[in-house]
Amino acid sequence: MSDRQTRYDLIKLQQELDTDDFSRLKYLTKDRVKRNKLSELKSTLDLFERLEEVGAISVKNGDVGFLLEALLLMDKKKLIRTFHETPDDVKGRYNGNKSNFTPFRRLFFTLGECMGSEERIKIKDYLKREHRIRKGTLEKAGDIWQLLTLLEENLPSPDIQTLQKIISLFDDEAVHEEFEKFKKGEPTGIHNSECADEESSSPVQASTTDVEPPSVDAPPSVDGLRDVNQEKRMMSYEFKQPAGFCLIINNEKFDNESVFKRRYGTDRDRDALKKTFEYFGFDVKVKENFTANEMKDWLREYSMVDHTHHSALVVCILSHGNNGVVYGKDGQGISIEDLLSYFKPDVCPSLTDKPKMFFIQACQVWTGNDPTPNEAVSDAQNVSQGTYSQESRTSCIPIIPMDADFLLGMATVTNYVSYRTNEGSFYIQSLTKNLMKFSPREDVLSILTEVNREVANETAVCESRMAKQIPEPRSRLRKKVYLNPKS
């Protein structure tokens, strides 16, 4: 494996690891990296860099066995395949005395993995009782791994009898099984991380696989990872909490139902959008069955709000529509371009240089001379499970705003129709599912490409005919948008 491939595999790995995984991985490296150096690490990339410095991994030689075994212990078996390995291969390679981790480290890591709130209380009581640890010190041990570190520090040379007392605090069978392995395996006791010579550790042996010569245009070190990751961050909008507002207008019932039929199933879209954007930390506001003027007034109201401390804006409109417009419940249309203009920099300066994402599920064309939306002429107004309501064909009228940092997600493109069932629309249901599935690993525009693929694979039957649909993202974004879940 080339050093370049290893760097990018490590990038993919760090994108998959969350904050808890970072803490777990740091704990597993305690025998390789000094404690004061561990405390300085702020990210997974920092940790990878440190592991290379101490010789635990070698990007140049493609040797990441230490991390592969750590992933196995963390039960992150799928991530092992990131490095083109299988869990069984890793398990066989690092079995017994070939392990990168001492029996003690494996035992205490198992304690951490099996520790619940009850066990945490028991360990704190043990430390107070047996080692007279003060309450303030215990409170500083904010998570499981800090508590285990505190426990280690008060067990300078633990014997089997002492460890037995600790193990007895756990009911989990996995802990007792690991302790039996520990007793049979000639444990070496605590591997004092303060004694780890990180500057002179012997380097890991080269991988047995063929090694390509280093790339001349990329340094064979984890620093290369940092460069790529920093470049990625520079190319993306800053996204932090509070995320901002998510404004949802859900028009299901219309005044003139002989023209604008009731939009059955739209409540499922509304609920899916609300759940999704709340997950990403947005303050979701929902309005139902607004007139055109009420829609305009409500959005104008939020254009006057101070968004200085927000990262983005999301607007979702679920309604009927025509070429370049959406309708209020009173049948009056509003230009989509006008709706976007409320949040341009000259009107809403606090959203300057921030992504403004609009997702619109609405008709975008009339058919024939009869001024009636497609949905009204469909024979599926009273939608039941398994039947579909034809909502729209989009026109190619350009409605992309001239100002930057807007993303407009449309349900359809020219000559295609958008479908909705009692379970919601193809587009919104796919959008919400894939945002939850792929964020923050992928950016929003890339996720919309997946939505295109997924919706295009759907087939609907309307008026006894097979029909297809393809959504259309229209982007004036200057950077990538990554949605991070609310912590």
pTM of the shown model: 0.52
Q: What is the pLDDT of residue 73?
A: 94
pLDDT at 62 over 50: yes
pLDDT in tens, 370-418: 333 333 222 223 333 344 455 543 333 333 345 799 999 998 775 556 6
Nearest-10 crossing angle of helices 103-114, 144-153: 140
In this predicted structure, the answer to whether residue 322 has a pLDDT above a threshold of 50 is yes
Question: What are the DSSP calls for 163-209, one per residue?
Answer: HHHHHTT---HHHHHHHHHHHHS-------GGG--TTTPPPPPPPSS
- Whether residue 4 contacts residue 221, with contact meaning beta carbons closer than 8 Å, is answered with no
Q: Is the pLDDT of residue 70 over 70?
A: yes
Look at residue 35 and give its three-state secondary structure: helix
186 in the same domain as 62: no
84-98, 295-309, 430-444, 452-466 — which one is most confidently predicted on average? Answer: 295-309
233 Cβ partners below 8 Å, 6+ apart? Answer: none
β-strands 282-288, 244-250 pairing: parallel
Is the pLDDT reported for residue 193 higher than 60? no
Are 255 and 386 part of one and the same domain?
A: yes
| Residues acting as catalytic residues | 320, 363
Residue 114 and residue 146 share a domain = yes
For residue 78, pLDDT beyond 60:
yes
Last residue of a domain, one of 173, 197, 221: 197
The per-residue b/e assignment along 165-186, b for 16 or more CB within 10 angstroms, e otherwise, is ebbebbebeebeebbeebeeee
CA angle, residues 252, 253, 258, in degrees to nearest 5: 125
pLDDT for 113: 92
Asked if 270 and 258 count as a contact pair (C-beta separation under 8 A), the reply is no
Amino acid present at 121? I
> What is the side-by-side order of every strand in the sheet holding 282-288?
282-288, 244-250, 312-318, 356-361, 406-410, 472-475
Residues 386, 461: contact at Cβ < 8 Å? no
Domain containing 176 equals: 102-197
Are 252 and 283 within one domain? yes
Choosing from 133, 166, 197, the residue where a domain stops is 197
**Is pLDDT at 207 greater than 60 in this prediction?**
no
pLDDT at 196: 41
> How is residue 350 written in tokens?
């606090």
Dihedrals phi, psi of 383, to nearest 5 degrees:
-80, 135
Residues 22 and 119 in one domain: no
Is residue 211 included in any domain, yes or no?
A: no
If asked whether residues 183 and 245 sit together in one domain, one would say no
Q: 225 in a domain, yes or no?
A: no
* 8 Å CB contact between 286 and 329: no
Structural domain ending residue among the three candidates 76, 97, 118: 97
How far apart, in Å, are the Cα atoms of 458 and each of 250, 346, 452?
24, 41, 10
Same domain? For 45 and 113 the reply is no
Greater model confidence, 440 or 294:
294
Q: Are residues 300 and 386 in the same domain?
A: yes
Write phi, then psi, for 298 (nearest 5 degrees): -65, -45
- Tens of pLDDT, residues 12-42: 888 888 888 899 999 999 999 988 888 888 8
CB 39 within 8 A of CB 96: no
> CATH no. for residue 412?
3.40.50.1460
Q: Are residues 72 and 110 in the same domain?
A: no
* Token pair in block for residue 361: 């599920």
Tens digits of per-residue pLDDT, 149-191?
Answer: 999 888 867 778 889 999 999 999 999 999 998 888 644 333 3
Residue 486 lies in a domain: no
Residue 158 falls inside a structural domain: yes
The answer to whether residues 274 and 145 belong to one domain is: no
Q: Cα–Cα distance between 276 and 282 in angstroms, integer?
A: 9
Per-residue pLDDT at 342 exceeds 60:
yes
The average pLDDT across 76-98 equals: 88
336 occurs within a structural domain: yes
If you average pLDDT over every residue of the chain, what do you get?
Answer: 80
Total domains in the chain come to: 3
Instruction: State the amino acid at position 1 in one-letter form.
Output: M
Kindly state the percentage of the chain with pLDDT values over 70.
77
Domain-located, residue 379: yes
pLDDT for the residue numbered 366: 46
Determine the pLDDT at residue 47: 92
Q: Picking from 123-137, 208-222, 242-256, 429-443, which range would have the lowest pLDDT averaged per residue?
A: 208-222
Cα separations (Å) of 220 from 3, 113, 194, 271, 376?
A: 6, 34, 28, 48, 63
Residues 445 and 307 in one domain: yes
Instruction: List the beta bridge partners of residue 366.
Output: 373
CATH number at residue 77: 1.10.533.10
- How confident is the model at residue 416, as a pLDDT? 57
Q: What is the pLDDT of residue 234?
A: 55
Q: Is the pLDDT of residue 298 over 90?
A: yes
Sign of the CA dihedral running 313, 314, 319, 325: positive
Among candidate residues 407, 404, 417, 401, the one with its CA nearest the CA of residue 481: 407
What separation in angstroms does the CA of 243 have from each of 61, 305, 348, 354?
42, 14, 17, 11
Q: Identify whether 421 is part of a domain.
A: yes
Q: Is the pLDDT of residue 199 over 50?
A: no
Per-residue pLDDT, 142: 77
The answer on pLDDT for 259 being more than 80 is yes
- The C-alpha R_g of the chain, in whole angstroms, comes to 29
Length of the chain in residues, anyone? 487
Quick one: pLDDT band at residue 1, thresholds 50, 70, 90?
low
Hey, is 472 helix, strand or coil?
strand
**449 and 353 within one domain:** yes
- Would you say residue 484 lies in a domain? no
Q: What is the pLDDT of residue 208?
A: 33
Q: Flag the least confident range among 128-132, 346-350, 441-445, 462-466.
A: 462-466
| Token pair belonging to 389 | 């309501």
Per-residue pLDDT at 467: 64
The Cα-based distances of 221 to 19, 68, 170, 354 in angstroms read 23, 18, 42, 34
Task: Give the list of residues 6+ apart from residue 296 with CB closer than 8 angstroms, or none.
Answer: 334, 338, 339
